Amino acid sequence: MQHYLFIDRQLLLTADNKVPEMAQPCDGAVIFSLDDGIRCAAANSQGSKELHPVELRASYDLLPLTDYLRAGKAAELLYWNAHHRYCGRCGAELEPRTEISKWCPQCETELWPQLSPAIIVLIHRDDKILLVRSRTFRGNYYGLVAGFVEFGESLEECVRREIKEETQLEVDNIRYFGSQPWPYPQGLMIGFTARYKSGQLRLQDDELAAGGWFNIHNMPLIPKPLSMARKLIDNYIKEMTSDNQ
């Protein structure tokens, strides 16, 4: 059984950067699986001389994609367990119900993990892409306009609202691109493309440190390949260059 062990939210890997395997689940482990049905275990650890910690995002470059996705789910389950110990309705301690749910033995409320859906959108203007640098970015790279979906709005409405709030631009031709689990934590990134329609770029100063239109042949530092932002950017550049051939 593969074990996805964490210490201080960092994934523990073997010396050759593999997920450790054990015959039986360790104490306190949460058992889970993906669609392939392979049983895995997630647990917090005190550390080990045989294992070294790696940031979950950095593990994307070290692990096969399936292991990275399993590690993300393991991290989410451990986070959810740690932050949902008591019933929000009556205060009683919750008990496990299924692999990914709990229930309250006192008032019989059943709880399931909740995701926070967020849109991310590539705004294009011919051979230019609008790139922005959020004040929350750790590095000096540029990404795409993004934001969380609010109550009462569709995904497309969220796309328009976030673009208007952050850039003051109007767009049309909004198209769905794809989605991606984003366990940092409890996120679901939903990617779109949109075509510039009108407006003068004015950045939302309290959220964005910089931004502008960049030619696809002269791009600044952009996010790593694991992110939805990078997938959107790479796909658009591929489409534009293939059209011009």
For the domain 116-243, what is the CATH code? 3.90.79.10
Q: What's the pLDDT at 181?
A: 93
Confidence of residue 20 (pLDDT cuts 50, 70, 90): very high
Q: What's the pLDDT at 180?
A: 95
99 pLDDT higher than 90: no
Confidence of residue 155 (pLDDT cuts 50, 70, 90): very high
Percentage of the chain modeled with pLDDT above 70: 99
Residue boundaries of the structural domains of the chain: 2-83, 116-243
Q: What's the pLDDT at 245?
A: 59
22 pLDDT higher than 90: no
Terminal-to-terminal C-alpha distance of the chain = 49
Q: What is the pLDDT of residues 29-41, one digit of tens each?
A: 999 988 778 889 9
Mean pLDDT of the chain: 94
Structure tokens at 69: 């996705």
Confidence of residue 200 (pLDDT cuts 50, 70, 90): very high
3-state secondary structure the chain: CEEEEEECCEEEECCCCCCCECCCCCCCCEEECCCCCCCEEEEECCCCCCCEEEECCHHHHCCCHHHHHHHHHHHHHHHHHHHCCECCCCCCECEEEECCEEECCCCCCEECCCCEEEEEEEEEECCEEEEEEECCCCCCCCECEEEECCCCCCHHHHHHHHHHHHHCCEEEEEEEEEEEEECCCCEEEEEEEEEEEECCCCCCCCCEEEEEEEECCCCCCCCCCCCHHHHHHHHHHHHHHHHCC
Task: Output the CA torsion 63→69→75→76 (10° steps).
Answer: 170
174 pLDDT higher than 80: yes
Percentage of the chain modeled with pLDDT above 90: 82
Phi and psi angles of residue 156, each rounded to the nearest 5 degrees, phi first = -65, -40
Q: What's the pLDDT at 120?
A: 98
Q: What's the pLDDT at 25?
A: 84
